[in-house]
Amino acid sequence: MSDIDLTSRPQDMQRLSLERRPFELRALTSGVLTGLTWGIAILGSIPLFSVIIMLVAEGGARLDIEALTSLPPAGFEMGGGFANAIIGTLVMVAIATAISVPIGLLAAIYLAILDPHSPLAGTARFVAKTLTGFPSILAGVFTYAVLVINFGYSAVAGGVALAVLMLPTVVLAAEESMKQVPQKMTDAAFGMGCTRSQVIWKVVLPTGLPGILTGIMLAVAGAAGESAPLLFTALFSNYFMSELMEPTASLSILIYNFSAMPFDNQIELAWAASLVLVLIVLVFNILARLIGQSKV
Amino acid sequence: MALNPFEHADSASSVSGPPSGSDYLADSVFRIIALSCAALIILLILFILWEIGGLALPAMAQHGLSFVSGTTWNVGTQEFGVLPEIWGTLYSSFLALILGGTFGVAIAIFLTQDFIHARLAAVFRTIVELLAAIPSVVYGLWGIYVVIPMLRPVAEWLHSELGFIPIFGTELSGPGMAPAALVLAIMILPTVAAITVDAFRRIPYKVKEAAYGMGTTRWEAILKVMLPTASSGILAALVLGFGRALGETMALAMLIGNSNQINLSLFAPANTLASLLASSFPEAGQIEVQALMYAAVVLLLITLVVNVVGLGIQQYTVRKFEGKA
């Protein structure tokens, strides 16, 4: 079989068919669809830029020291701001973080390391995934049923409602990043005679920390932007908060309330508050990215 | 004389030694705490069902299934029916899914099928992720002051020229189904795009190579090989995106007009279960709260079913590809 001449071509092969013909139907279809996809991708990013432009133009115009330091105006009053809403949002997100992170981390430890294949872990994982698609307003309804009916509207109730929404995000992100810790490292630690909890505290958690923090930051960013769960748990207040068990203002509810008002001043403030809220959410998102990138 | 590694094991200067009794105790205590936290997640969803269901019970006993088929919501006469809200929830989510689903899948194709340089793709991915990060209430505000004014001339023209078609049957007076569905589509786009990107990534590279090796054009490879292979993952993306749309609250409460009517028209105001809860709950009295709890149960059941189906399809997809690899 060594007499095949590689330099000669079979005479019957149509060499032309191997060349690209740009006006062939299938090439044209391909080109049109490519153009369409480019169009969709560009069209799809317009809303983001439109939102950002509106926030900077409308919100930036009104965002000043007064808006950041004073209380919401009533009716025809001019000026005013949303200082109490900023504080309220931060406090409630802090409460939600304080509740959801410890529980979420411990649950993730169980799911990722202690007993990954048990039926309990499988069910918990599935429930957590289901809860990520849980309508946020139902977290509010639930907290209303458990806390508000008995103790009234409060920042704590708002924080609990947000915690219900943060929990699945924290659990799933923490589990994912703990699973990424190389088996070799845990094996080495076990080989040194560590107990399970020593391995978890001294090897798995420190190694998985960037991923865990990323998940927490993303959960915090999501919670800061939520409004539906706060509607009838924290309600709203026109004054600075003095204790945790009273109705509390939040940026998102302020935007919701002011957006429907017939006064220009309130609508301008709603835009300024939106800008502040988006900035808070973005800060946590960027933090999440930075921490995530530092992962080796 | 062999080296004895345990020579100093008992001396106070060494840290090595077997775990002590208290170490074992700490270990099992820790294990129990972690286990109960995992169990807490399962208990949480049961507790949610129990609490909301418990408060809805009086309304359930009183209204029964007529609650789901009734069309009036009147606190004065204590008539409660959520058929218009169920219709509005499903209709708005369906419209959003058509638009957001198309865009989401197209953007996923754009990001994964080598249309652009990897670095530019990362920029686009960030844009899509930021789209998901913007709070619902900000989208609502944007919808009121940007989308509705922008849609008004379009809606007027469509109504005057094509008003005989039911979907253009009314005028857009302000808030309505069209702006709500449009904003909803933008909000579910990132969910659909992210899960679809994931589905495309799971396809082994050799599948694409084989298609190109057969001499397909890029789009023949996408339409005849990649899309069918990723179809179950894309289905999961669409179902989960639909589930997201069903539960979305604030933007819809601000844009849909909160009007209890069943109308095919895109420009008529409507209502959804979630926005009914958002708008009525804060001022509701005892009896209305029970009815609203019933509405919450309906919403909870619809979204749970949709999400479980979506997750089921997603897990099936993951298993399918992991089995092959």
- Distance (Å, rounded) from C-alpha A161 to C-alpha A107? 19
Contact A171 B304 (CB under 8 A): no
Decide if pLDDT at B2 tops 70. no
DSSP result, A227-238: -GGGTTTT---S
The partner residue sitting opposite B37, judged by closest CB among A44, A107, A168, is A107
Three-class DSSP category at B85: helix
**pLDDT 10s digits, A152-182:** 999 999 999 999 999 999 999 999 999 999 9
User: For residue A194, which residues of chain B lie inside 8 Å, CB to CB?
Assistant: 19
Closest CA to B138 of B242, B272, B254: B254
Decide if pLDDT at B108 tops 90. yes
Our CA-based measurement puts residue B280 at a distance from the nearest CA of chain A, in whole angstroms, of 10
The answer to whether the CB of B114 falls within 8 A of the CB of B208 is no
Contact A106 B33 (CB under 8 A): yes
Residue B100: exposure state from Cβ atoms within 10 A (0-12, 13-18, ≥19): buried
**pLDDT 10s digits, B51-102:** 999 999 999 999 888 899 888 888 888 889 999 999 999 999 999 999 999 9
Domains and CATH numbers, chain A: 85-293 (1.10.3720.10)
The partner residue sitting opposite B141, judged by closest CB among A107, A111, A271, is A271
**pLDDT 10s digits, A107-130:** 999 999 998 999 999 999 999 999
Phi, psi of B139 (to 5 degrees): -60, -40
**pLDDT 10s digits, B197-248:** 999 999 999 999 999 999 888 899 999 999 999 999 999 999 999 999 999 9
ipTM computed for the complex: 0.89
The partner residue sitting opposite A252, judged by closest CB among B41, B137, B248, is B137
Contact B31 A256 (CB under 8 A): no
> According to the model, what pLDDT value does residue B37 have?
94
Domain boundaries of chain B, sorted by first residue = 66-324
The partner residue sitting opposite A110, judged by closest CB among B34, B244, B278, is B34
Q: Does any CB of chain A come closer than 8 Å to the CB of residue B307?
A: yes
Closest chain B residue by Cα to residue A286? B130
Query: How many residues would you count in chain A?
Result: 296
The answer to whether the CB of B139 falls within 8 A of the CB of A47 is no
DSSP B167: G
Helix boundaries (H) for A19-146: 25-54, 60-62, 65-69, 83-109, 119-132, 136-143
Residues in CB range of B41: below 8 A, 6 or more apart: A107, A124, A127, A128, A131, A167, A168, A171
- A-proximal residues of B, 109-148, CB under 8 Å: 109-110, 115, 124, 127-131, 133-142, 144-146
Type of residue numbered A31: G
Decide if pLDDT at A12 tops 80. no
Sign of CA dihedral B218, B222, B224, B226: positive
- Which CATH topology does B66-324 take? MetI-like fold (1.10.3720)
The partner residue sitting opposite A141, judged by closest CB among B52, B217, B250, is B52
Q: Does any CB of chain A come closer than 8 Å to the CB of residue B278?
A: yes
Contact A30 B299 (CB under 8 A): no
Our CA-based measurement puts residue A58 at a distance from the nearest CA of chain B, in whole angstroms, of 11
